[in-house]
Structure 1
Amino acid sequence: MKKDNRSYILLRYGLVIVFILWLAACIVVKLCETTVVDADKWNQRANELLSQTKEIIPGRGNILASDGSVLATNLNFYTARIDYRAEKFNEKLFRDTIDQLAARMAEHFPVKSAEQWKKHLLKPLDKVKEKRPRAYKLMSGLSHADMETLRTFPFFSIKNRNRNGLTFEKYMRRFNPYGDMARRSIGGVGETAESKEIHGISGLEKALDSLLYGKVGYSKMINLTKKITDWTDIPAIPGSDIVTTIDINMQDIVESELNNVLDTCGADWGVAVLMDVKNGDIKAISNLERNPRGPGYIEARNRAVMGYEPGSVVKTLSMMIAVEDGLVPDLNEVLPTGSGWAYAGGRPITDAHHSASIRAGDVLEQSSNIGMARIITRKYNDNPGAFYSRVKALGFLEPMNTGIAGEVPPRFDSVPNDRGGRIALSRMSYGYATEIPPLYTLAIYNAIANDGVFVRPRLVKEVKGAVDSVFPVGYMGNGRACSPQTAATLRQMLTNVVWGDHGTGRFLRNNTVRIAGKTGTCYMIENGAYNQGKKRLAFCGFFPAEEPKYSCVVLTCHPTKNFFGAATTSGQVLRNIALKLYSRGMLGNSSDYRSVTPSDAAPTFYASASGRKAYERVKSDFAIPSHRSLKSPSTVAKGTLPDVKGYGLREAIVALETAGYNVDYTGSGYVRSMEPAAGTRPARGTRVRLVLGN
């Protein structure tokens, strides 16, 4: 018996030894094949792997406001998913807690109701386990805080991810902390068709993409002692930060006032640009158009750098050239006008408010087409093309290179020296037969406000990167549009447009900030002809008139109600911007704002006796209504409804939504009343009803 057991054990040992020897032989054979027979093939594959390089995408630079506030940056966002086929997914607990989970989801992520969330979460469980999704999308666009909050919900709070199936995918997204503020000027990013890389597709993001994008890095695989691993060969260089000239507070004011007037007059679109007179810094730029998918206005194409027939605002350019070149030696010269002037046998030039004659010094004040054409043609009648050369010599036709994508220079035609050229010359002198971007128009007015110094508008003032670069103030042409004496003469003419007895901008008079500027009206071309039922209305000017700090241009397209004039639409935007800057102490004044100026009080900005005398001549009671006071936020107890009476709609919505309330509104203008009342304690999410009026 013992002998049989011993033989059986030896047999088993023998089989094991044979198996081990066979396995060892196989290993030796395979080793020989790998290291000797197939050595060249494996060496080639190893070399291919080690020679591969991968691109390392650099971090995109930030776009900053002038004070360092972030206008565009990169942020991490997350997509939440559920693996319903996770090995230990606790289906029973999931079903037991679904009502609580759905309620919490609806509370924190109200894109769906509790019932809708419950249906969404249970839907994959209708399938057999083998066919359930492994990456069921819960929601995207989650911040890090949202992700952490989601992990505290019933069922998702289970620490073992294999039991709740909850996973997160991280991705990078360009983020604008101020929403649509100056969105078109800042621009956007997207994938390129060629490489799927993220590059700028509009605005500053596109124009300065080479700086913002940075430099791509490269990595390769290297053979370490224990493994082959990824090794950074050339590190990526992050993109530079771009510091713009945008002032956040001024940008908010410009957008709010443009939106209010567009809404009041029912215009198709509008654009407004605010610029610092001394250095050409664009402090604010807004482009709004009617929302095609609902009420209100949204950020639109950047029309500030697109060419349009400017209308009468270009008369200021013509008059500046005329005064500078001595074509108007005597401002008291009387020019014949009458009901029309058929210059060069063309269609008669007419004035909206014609008279038998007009003083040369009053041409801008009364916006006389005939007067302006008579002045310009007296020199350029025999050589119309020379007018183009004169405009070009100013530097007015140069590219500005502001950094705004889509910028185009003005179109002034070098007309022939014939009858057609003379007719075109007369039209160009008062704003037709040419195309000028609003930003170029603003540059000329800014030069007049700046004693003739022709600074180049700029939107970028500094680049912060490996090597910091500061962009100096630039100049158009030779740096001067006209002499200081000519600039002073033009400033007085533009002041008379608002304060003169027959000025086309008399609507803009107020007792707080003196405004100087010029109105402009131009019919729109449709199907090759002027449509006299549609107008583009412009106002370009500067303030305060005697000591200009800011210049501004506003363009309003096709108003349909309430206001139909250049002063009452575009001019009103400029006036409201000036008043709000004053109310916030941004014009070098005290911010101790008074809603109504006493009738016997002298205006704030009059540097000369002539300025005071002009004011007394046109003194009126255009005091600012108290409901436009644009007061500072009232102090209210924490958790109570903030008082937004007197705010513009945009400011009111921001204040209320920040406090956790929803908003309904009727009317246009400024908030007159609100329900529930300010200072009460309605629950978060309560809908506040606002009544607006002017």
Structure 2
Amino acid sequence: MNIKKSIVIRVRIVFLILCLCACAIVYKVVRIQFIDGDRWKKISKERRIRYQPVFATRGNIYSDNGSILATSLPFYRVAFDPTVADAETFNAGIDSLSMLLSRFYRDKSEDYYRRKIKNARHDGRRYLRLNSRQINYQDKKMMAQWPIFRAGKNKGGVIFEKVEKRFKPFGLLAERTIGFINEDKNGAGLEFSFNNHLAGTDGEALFERIAGGNKPIYDGTEVKPQHGYDIKTTIDINLQDVAENALYKALERTDAEYGCVIMMEVKTGEIKAIANLGKTKGGYIEDYNYAVGNQGRTEPGSTFKLASMMALFEYAPDVKLSDSIDTGDGRYRIKNTIMTDAKNGGYGMLSVQEIFEKSSNIGVAKLMEQHFSSNPQAYVDYLNKFGLNSTLGFQMDGEARPFMKDPQDRTWYGTTLTSMAIGYEMKLSPLQTLAFYNAVANNGVKIQPIIVKEISKTNTVIQSFKTRVLNEKICSDETLKKLRSMLEGVVENGTAKNILSKDYKVAGKTGTARKVKNGRYVMEYSTSFAGYFPADKPKYSCIVIIDSPKGVNVYGGDVAAPVFKELADKAYARDLAMHKSLRARVVPNKDSMPGVEAGSLEDLTYICNKIGVSHHPNLTEEEWVKVEPRMRSLDFKPNPVVLNKVPDVKGMTLRDALFILGNQHLDVKVQGAGKRVKQQSLEPGTDIAKNAKITIVLS
């Protein structure tokens, strides 16, 4: 009886507790829903609505002539608030809109889009992303005219979410130089180095968190983003294209590991082309900035002999180019090592000029021993004076720091002086080597290379850059005279005779340095050529590096120098200011008419005046003309060159034809031999297709 009564009591207690809990839950629900409802709705709205960044449009990167190298193009994602449109507008347009969406995206049926939109409207969803695929601006304009959408954002509910993508109109041209920047703000090239200017300042606006995404709320409190500045580079897209193509062909031909080319103006320090290509499984791509960064910092080899000879002439100005040195049979013992020359059996007796022209290691080593063996610090001090132990302060991040030994170092051995003299036991980047050669071309003034010359916004220059003088006089005029003679001799008589040009003079030096692997020198080479042109009035300096080429001829003169020559030829052909004046070639002769058919109005006018031939220019504003003989006179007819149209070069000299066709971005192939163009494969006046090629026949 007691047990039964006890159970009943316990059941009643549990029942009462459950009733109390139920009453408490009902009370809480009523309180939340009715008494505190407004408060909780406010909190909910505050948590759904928050300020989010509105990203600024990134600035453009331009070439030296204003062509766009990188820009941000707008793309859009299409979203929809199906609750905005009134019933009449929605019902009248839903079928057509669903059909258009299905046909445009081609991923779902018309019925799928109709059900998706109607269900969202029925459920009161205020944000519906119709498709994750991004559309361009033209597609956006088209879709804005579709049923329901044409009513606009406020009455139709369409939402075009802007997404910007970086676009490079010239594709892979100068890809590594232009560079990139990722979401973590890491990157390379100009995009990374000038990110603070290009990125701009983000704004902010209110966004409401809704199922499926975030919907912007324009309540007047939004802060507009400040778009990024534009930067104008010194890059010449035509020379850049030539540099990359020439480098690519050389790398493929020799199966090399990587290569780089830098070309800059002597006086201004403006880099006109900078190409970097590394080997991958699929070919060669711009995978690293070898021209500037640590991976391209190597022992320069024989191109460094220019610095050694500069130090020698400064230290011992009485040394003459005609002085003789016995280089022997090509083998020379220095302490416990044997130094060799490239020629089997050696060069024997050589002058100082010939030592440099033939790149005799033994000759340079003996000269260094004669003058610096008792005072190696003096040699190193000269290198430091030349700035070879310092960075250039280049505008792009990642410039390698030179490595240069000092007699106080523990690693300075008895052979270090002679090793350094021929470009070993040190490391320089290609850009640092080029800056030194450029100083020789620039009358001894060493300047800082630049690649960006302006930062602007809406055509207003915010900041401009000019090259900075690093050393007003790197050496004496007498030393410069000797060095220039030796550099010209390398091309005329020495290791780079294969790039000798009849049209202009080249000065430069080849380099072939053995590479180190696992602490030992192996039979792999880094080949190079550094120099400038025209040698008598330098306009451009240039360096070419080809790393680890394979084959029989793997010297700098065989591998790197031809790339220099191809780039120099194209630069010369398109720059009339570098050409030899026609005035020096004209021989006065009043008894004969000049055999000309077309050319530059200025040149032809001078020829006629010089030899006393009457001429009648019918359109003096035109730079290029055709010539029509009239008894004892010549008529000049206009021969205009129109952008993106095939020019008429028939009758012109090869020089003029190459200049005009090169400026029209045509790939030119020359056939035949002669002084003037007889035929051309593309009809004058027709549109120029992308990557078009033209063949001209000489007669």
How far the C-alpha of 1:257 sits from its partner, in A, is: 2.2
* Deviation, structure 1 residue 473: 2.1
C-alpha spacing 1:45/1:158, structure 2 compared with 1 (3 Å): closer
- Counterpart position of 1:523: 514
Match status 1:565 vs 2:555: yes
Quote the sequence identity (%): 29
- Give the structure 2 partner of residue 621 of structure 1: none
Q: 1:419 to 1:577 in 2, by over 3 A?
A: closer
Structure 2 CA distance for partners of 1:228 and 1:336, relative to 1, 3 Å: closer
Quote the residue 1:487 is aligned against.
480
How far apart, CA to CA, are the structure 2 residues paired with 1:208 and 1:433?
A: 34
Contact 1:396 1:440 (8 Å CA) reproduced:
yes
Deviation at 1:58, TM superposition (A): 3.4
Please tell me whether residue 210 in structure 1 is matched to residue 199 in structure 2: no
Distance 1:211 1:170, change over 3 A: closer
2:405–2:426 contact (8 Å) kept in structure 1: yes
1:55-204 → structure 2 map (5 Å cutoff)? 55-79=53-77, 90=95, 94=99, 101=103, 120-121=107-108, 135=129, 137=131, 139-140=133-134, 142-148=135-141, 151=143, 158-160=146-148, 169-192=161-184, 199=185, 201-204=187-190
Q: Which amino acid aligns with 1:588?
A: M
Deviation track 1:448-489 (CA, whole Å, cap 9, x = no partner) reads 11111111111122222587222232122x332212322221
Residue by residue, what CA displacement relative to the aligned partner does 1:370-417 show, whole Å, maximum 9, x if unpaired?
A: 111222233332343443332122222222222222211211122448
Per the alignment, do residues 388 and 368 of structure 1 end up closer, same or farther by CA in structure 2, a change over 3 Å counting?
same
Q: 1:506 aligned to 2:497?
A: yes
Measured in 2, the distance between the counterparts of 1:526 and 1:431 equals 17
> What residue is the counterpart of 2:619 in the other structure?
none
Conserved 8 A contact 2:205-2:218: no
- The 2-side partners of 1:287 and 1:137 are apart by 40
Deviation at residue 329 of structure 1 after TM alignment? 1.8
**Distance in 2, Cα, partners of 1:553 & 1:575:** 11
| Per-residue deviation, 1:554 | 0.4
Query: Using the alignment, how far apart are the partners of 1:137 and 1:53 within structure 2?
Result: 25
Partner residue in 1 for 2:297: 307
TM-aligned CA deviation for residue 302 of structure 1:
0.6
- 3-state SS in 2 of match to 1:303: coil
Deviation at 1:587, TM superposition (A): 4.6
SS in 2 for 1:304: coil
Hey, what's the Cα distance between the residues in 2 that align with 1:121 and 1:550?
59
Label 1:215 to 1:563 Cα distance change in 2 as closer, same or farther (>3 A): same
Secondary structure class of the residue paired with 2:59: coil
Match of 1:443 in 2: 435
Which residue of the partner structure matches residue 259 of structure 2? 270
* Contact 2:448 2:469 survives alignment (8 Å): yes
Give the Cα–Cα distance (whole angstroms) in 1 for the partners of residues 420 and 556 of structure 2.
Answer: 20
Any idea what SS the aligned residue of 2:502 has? coil
Instruction: Please give the residue correspondences for 1:524-673 in structure 2 after superposition, counting only pairs within 5 Å.
Output: 524-532=515-523, 534-560=524-550, 564-585=554-575, 587-589=577-579, 635=646
* Contact 2:646–2:682 (8 Å) recurs in 1: no
Taking a change above 3 Å as real, the CA distance of residues 278 and 47 of structure 1, as seen in their structure-2 partners, is: same
Q: How does 1:82-481 map to 2 (within 5 A)?
A: 90=95, 94=99, 101=103, 120-121=107-108, 135=129, 137=131, 139-140=133-134, 142-148=135-141, 151=143, 158-160=146-148, 169-192=161-184, 199=185, 201-217=187-203, 229-232=219-222, 236-293=225-282, 295=283, 297-305=284-292, 306-326=296-316, 329-340=319-330, 342=332, 344-353=334-343, 354-416=346-408, 420-465=412-457, 468-476=462-470, 478-481=471-474
- Aligned with 2:414: secondary structure? helix
Q: Which runs of 5+ in 2 are unaligned?
A: 1-29, 84-89, 121-127, 208-216, 583-642, 649-656, 672-680
* CA deviation string 1:253-279 (max 9, x = no partner): 222222233333333321101110012
Q: What SS does the corresponding residue of 1:273 show, helix, strand or coil? A: strand
For residue 219 of structure 2, give the secondary structure of its aligned residue in structure 1: strand
**Distance change >3 Å, CA 560–CA 228, structure 1 → 2:** closer
Q: What secondary structure is seen at the aligned counterpart in 2 of 1:349? A: strand
Distance 1:489 1:686, change over 3 A: closer
Tell me by how many angstroms 1:549 deviates: 0.5
Q: Secondary structure at the match of 1:567?
A: helix
Kindly tell me: are residues 392 and 170 of structure 1, through their superposed partners in 2, closer, same or farther at Cα, counting changes over 3 Å?
same
Do the aligned partners of residues 55 and 530 (structure 1) sit closer, same or farther apart at CA in structure 2, a change above 3 Å counting?
same
Distance in 1, matches of 2:190 and 2:411, equals 44
> Paired residue for 2:628?
none
In 1, the alpha carbon distance for the partners of 2:465 and 2:449 equals 12
- The AA in structure 2 aligned to 1:75 is L
Contact 1:519 1:539 in 2 (8 A): yes
Q: Do 2:77 and 2:162's aligned partners in 1 also have CA atoms closer than 8 Å?
A: yes
| TM-score, scaled relative to structure 1 | 0.68
User: Contact 2:270/2:449 (CA < 8 Å) preserved in 1?
Assistant: yes
Amino acid at match of 1:174: R
1:679 Cα deviation from its structure 2 partner: 6.8
Q: CA RMSD in A?
A: 4.9
Count of residue pairs the alignment pairs up: 555
671 and 258 in structure 1: CA distance in 2 versus 1, 3 angstrom threshold: farther
Per-residue CA shift, 1:78-121, capped at 9, x if unaligned? Answer: 356899999976499849x98xx5xxx8xxxxxxxxxxx96x44
